[in-house]
């Protein structure tokens, strides 16, 4: 297709919804950061505008290269992904107890954010080449495909992004045809094992020592404190408590887009412009506005499912499904974390949280979704193209 055809066939509804969120992000970031640098209250907003421009370029580039061509580069993309993640462990920039960033000129790049999009692309190609996922052994290679970069990310440590990888893997395996009950046994059993391990760490001992666990103490506290934040109100529970206060301060209609009682002006809520951006949204727009923002996300995810169901081939369906899983988990965890109903895992709110790497990754994900959407138009050149439907076990098949 030519350039004019691509522009004509773009999903402008989804792009418009994304544009609404990006526009809102400037008000959220301004309210949450204006007091941090009184001499330049728009410092973070101006930096985010640069990333928005770069994100638009990344989206355009992602749309312009047919996704089948991109999938053909899967081995190189997977290798580059592992190389960048390993580089972070060797020469990464540390902050807040984690080494997740590498310096790129005046900016810092977080490879784990870009890794999510790369894993969607490479896993889609991996699953597209498998003829069956019905046997237990068929699940080994896709799980290992995700486990290697996931372990590198956990080493940083970055628990939140690791959980996103797990969500992407489960959804894409199901869509590719893995039996739902088998996935439930594998991943549900894994989750139960983790919960049991954490319980044992706190309640059982070996030779008068607590059973060792795979997380740092501060990570474990952050993960569990949402259940009882008042047990450590000035420590691990502080963020959760302040986030709940910010959400409650917004009331029904909010304090307004310019400023907010609990976030930017008084800086009571740490990381309000990154991990807890939804709390700022709730403070500014209130319950009604927050529901409206969640509705925008819902519509984007529904459009994503539409793209997956109407993709011209299995590869496109898998890629679109991976993007929906990635964005959907981000929204669920970020909004749930801010309202105190989900563990604190450090996951940004798509298109709203401050952060260049996250915005680049989200833009590339939408670009990939648009790529699959535009690619479906190739069907018009076929005579009576076979419909795509969801079969039993989540597999996609041609014909009725």
Q: Which pLDDT belongs to residue 97?
A: 54
Confidence grade of residue 262 (pLDDT, cut at 50, 70, 90): very low
Asked if residue 315 is part of any domain, the answer here is: yes
Token pair listed for 149: 């970069």
Neighbour-count burial of 221, counting CB atoms closer than 10 A to its CB (0-12 exposed, 13-18 middle, 19+ buried) = middle
Domain region containing 39? 3-377
Contact present, 94 and 161 (Cβ < 8 Å): no
What does the pLDDT look like over 362-377, one tens digit per residue?
999 999 999 999 987 6
Among candidate residues 45, 321, 19, the one with its CA nearest the CA of residue 169 = 321
CA distances to 70, 112, 209, 273, 356 from 352, in Å: 28, 18, 44, 8, 11
- Strand segments (E) across 125-183: none
* Beta bridge mates, 107: 104
Q: Lowest-pLDDT range, 101-110, 161-170, 338-347, 374-383?
A: 374-383
280/35 Cα distance (integer angstroms): 14
Residue 102, helix vs strand vs coil:
strand
Asked if residue 161 is part of any domain, the answer here is: yes
Contacts of 181 (CB under 8 A, 6+ apart): none
Asked if residue 383 is part of any domain, the answer here is: no
Residue 334 has φ and ψ, to the nearest 5°, of: -65, -45
279/337 Cα distance (integer angstroms): 9
Is the pTM higher than 0.85? The answer reads: yes
Confidence grade of residue 78 (pLDDT, cut at 50, 70, 90): very high
Asked if residue 197 is part of any domain, the answer here is: yes
Contact present, 113 and 354 (Cβ < 8 Å): no
Asked if residue 222 is part of any domain, the answer here is: yes
- Strand segments (E) across the chain: 93-95, 98-104, 107-109, 205-206, 209-210, 388-390, 396-398
Token pair listed for 348: 């940004």
What does the pLDDT look like over 177-225, one tens digit per residue?
999 898 999 888 888 888 888 778 777 777 667 777 776 666 677 777 7
172/313 Cα distance (integer angstroms): 14
**198 vs 19, more confident:** 19
Asked if residue 96 is part of any domain, the answer here is: yes
What does the pLDDT look like over 121-160, one tens digit per residue?
999 999 999 988 988 899 999 999 999 999 999 888 788 8
In this predicted structure, the answer to whether residue 251 has a pLDDT above a threshold of 80 is yes
Q: State the total domains in the chain.
A: 1
Asked if residue 394 is part of any domain, the answer here is: no
Asked if residue 397 is part of any domain, the answer here is: no
In this predicted structure, the answer to whether residue 5 has a pLDDT above a threshold of 70 is no
85/352 Cα distance (integer angstroms): 25
Confidence grade of residue 59 (pLDDT, cut at 50, 70, 90): very high
What is 205-255 written as a DSSP string?
A: EETTEEPP-SS-HHHHHHHHGGGSGGGSTTTTTHHHHHHHHHHHHTTTT-S
Alpha helices in 34-131 (DSSP H): 43-64, 67-72, 74-91, 111-128
Q: Which pLDDT belongs to residue 234?
A: 73
Secondary structure letter of residue 265 according to DSSP: T
């Amino acid at each position: 297709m030519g350039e004019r055809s691509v522009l004509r066939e773009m999903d402008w509804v989804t792009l418009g919804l994304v544009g609404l969120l990006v526009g809102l992000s400037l008000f959220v970031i301004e309210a949450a950061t204006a007091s941090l640098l009184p001499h330049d209250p728009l410092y973070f907003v101006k930096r985010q505008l640069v990333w928005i421009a770069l994100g638009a370029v990344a989206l355009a580039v992602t749309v312009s290269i047919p996704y089948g061509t991109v999938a053909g580069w899967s081995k190189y993309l997977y290798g580059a992904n592992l190389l960048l993640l390993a580089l972070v462990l060797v020469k990464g920039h540390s902050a807040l107890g984690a080494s997740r960033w590498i310096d790129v000129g005046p900016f810092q790049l977080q490879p784990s954010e870009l890794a999510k999009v790369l894993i969607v692309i490479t896993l889609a190609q991996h699953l597209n080449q498998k003829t069956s996922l019905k046997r237990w052994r068929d699940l080994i290679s896709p799980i290992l495909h995700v486990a290697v970069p996931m372990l590198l990310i956990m080493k940083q440590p970055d628990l939140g992004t690791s959980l996103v990888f797990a969500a992407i893997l489960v959804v894409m395996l199901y869509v590719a045809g893995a039996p739902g009950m088998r996935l439930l046994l594998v991943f549900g059993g894994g989750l139960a094992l983790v919960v049991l391990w954490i319980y044992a760490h706190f309640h059982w001992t070996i030779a008068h020592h607590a059973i060792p666990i795979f997380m740092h103490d501060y990570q474990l506290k952050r993960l569990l404190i949402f259940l009882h934040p008042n047990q450590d109100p000035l420590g691990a529970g502080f963020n959760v408590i302040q986030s709940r206060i910010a959400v409650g301060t917004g009331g029904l209609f909010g304090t307004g887009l310019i400023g907010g009682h609990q976030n930017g002006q008084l800086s009571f809520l740490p990381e309000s412009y990154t991990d807890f951006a939804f709390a700022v949204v709730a403070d500014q727009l209130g319950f009604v506005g927050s529901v409206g923002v969640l509705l925008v996300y819902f519509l984007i995810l529904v459009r994503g499912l539409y793209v997956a169901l109407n993709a011209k081939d299995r590869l496109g369906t898998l890629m679109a499904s991976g993007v929906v899983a990635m964005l959907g988990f981000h929204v669920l965890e970020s909004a749930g974390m801010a309202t105190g109903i989900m563990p604190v895992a450090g996951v940004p709110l798509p298109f709203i949280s401050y952060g260049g790497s996250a915005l680049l990754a989200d833009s590339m994900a939408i670009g990939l979704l648009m790529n699959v959407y535009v690619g479906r138009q190739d069907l018009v050149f076929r005579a009576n193209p076979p419909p795509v439907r969801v079969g039993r076990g989540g597999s996609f098949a041609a014909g009725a």
